[in-house]
Amino acid sequence: MSRKQPKAYSLEFREEALRRLQEGTTSIRALAQETGVHAETLRNSRRDARVAGYAQPDERQQNLTEENRAPRSENARLKEEREILRTATAFFARDARSSTRLSARLPACGS
């Protein structure tokens, strides 16, 4: 069995599809049904255009990127705080163990 060769779409057809996706006037699913192009082909074309710098991320993508920036920086700060607390806990636990050992060796006062 031989594999089907992918359809070759004209440059104008691709540019028009990418323009409509960029404008946000239609979804990938709706454009796929309208044009007969598989939705994954449209997704790949949009991704390739973004990587090549021909298309800008849509507004929704930019908003998600901005929304994710704050939690990421907070997550980094919390990881740093956790590491500091872990180190401090180990330090004080070590100090408590050594003082317990020291008090066990010393004779009790007042007897």
pLDDT digits (tens, 9 = 90+) for 53-69: 766 666 666 777 788 88
The residue among 87 and 19 whose pLDDT is bigger is 87
Number of domains in the chain: 2
Same domain, 25 and 64: no
Same domain, 66 and 29: no
Q: Does residue 2 lie within any of the structural domains?
A: no
Residue 75 lies in a domain: yes
Cβ atoms of residues 70 and 64 within 8 Å: no
What residues contact 103, with CB distance under 8 A and at least 6 apart?
A: none
Domain with 69 in it: 59-105
- Supply the pLDDT for residue 99: 67
Judge if 67 and 87 occupy the same domain.
yes
3 lies in some domain: no
pTM of the entire structure?
Answer: 0.43
68 and 38 belong to one structural domain: no
